[in-house]
């Protein structure tokens, strides 16, 4: 419980700090100055993490581009925002099955001013009764849209 509160405080502090200006981030074990683009992409993931941990799938889904072309790749290739959202609602019917999500080892690699790739790890902690813990690595392609940075391709292993 204390860890959860400290993590929320740390995430809130990081989010507030990143809003002010480009800052330092940890990349491959070393501090480096992050560009505004890198910080903006990380903010999307922090908002997703917070929404997930509130049990808010619709809030979590706001990180993705609402398009039939959005791709989700795991053991299948799936297309479309609406289908992805429906799958999340079906697979995670309540906060207990969602568990607590945390992202780590995030690396943002800008491609140009409107495209970036982010790699990292995710972990979901939950009881065995609700599916047990899960963790994996991911890569995501982000596109800068009129609505801000959005995930257009999500690949998890």
Task: Pick the more confident residue, 20 or 40.
Answer: 40
Q: In this predicted model, what pLDDT tens digit does every residue of 127-146 receive, in sequence order?
A: 999 999 999 999 999 999 99
Q: In this predicted model, what pLDDT tens digit does every residue of 103-132 receive, in sequence order?
A: 999 999 999 999 999 999 999 999 999 999
d(CA 91, CA 98) in angstroms, rounded, equals 9
Q: In this predicted model, what pLDDT tens digit does every residue of 47-100 receive, in sequence order?
A: 999 999 999 999 999 999 999 999 999 999 999 999 999 999 999 999 999 999
The torsion defined by the Cα of 24, 109, 98 and 100, in degrees rounded to 10, comes to -20
pLDDT recorded at residue 34: 87
pLDDT recorded at residue 1: 44
Give the angle subtended at the CA of 140 by the CAs of 63 and 61, to the nearest 5°: 20
Q: Which helix (H) or strand (E) holds 74?
A: none
User: Global pTM?
Assistant: 0.81
pLDDT recorded at residue 33: 85
Domains, in order of start, for the chain: 48-157 (3.10.450.50)
pLDDT recorded at residue 86: 96
pLDDT recorded at residue 2: 38
């Amino acid at each position: 419980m204390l860890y959860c509160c400290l993590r929320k405080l740390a995430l809130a502090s990081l989010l507030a700090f990143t809003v002010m200006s480009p800052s330092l981030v940890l990349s491959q074990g070393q501090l480096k100055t992050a560009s505004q683009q890198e910080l903006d992409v990380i903010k999307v993931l922090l908002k997703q993490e917070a929404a997930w941990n509130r049990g808010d799938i619709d809030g979590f889904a706001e990180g993705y581009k609402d398009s039939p072309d959005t791709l989700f790749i795991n053991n299948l290739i799936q297309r479309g925002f609406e289908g992805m959202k429906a799958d999340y609602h079906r697979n995670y019917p309540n906060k207990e099955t969602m568990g607590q999500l945390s992202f780590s080892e995030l690396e943002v690699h800008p491609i140009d001013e409107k495209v970036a790739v982010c790699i990292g790890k995710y972990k979901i902690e939950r009881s065995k009764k609700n599916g047990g813990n899960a963790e994996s690595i991911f890569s995501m392609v982000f596109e800068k849209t009129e609505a801000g940075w959005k995930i257009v391709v999500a690949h998890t292993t």
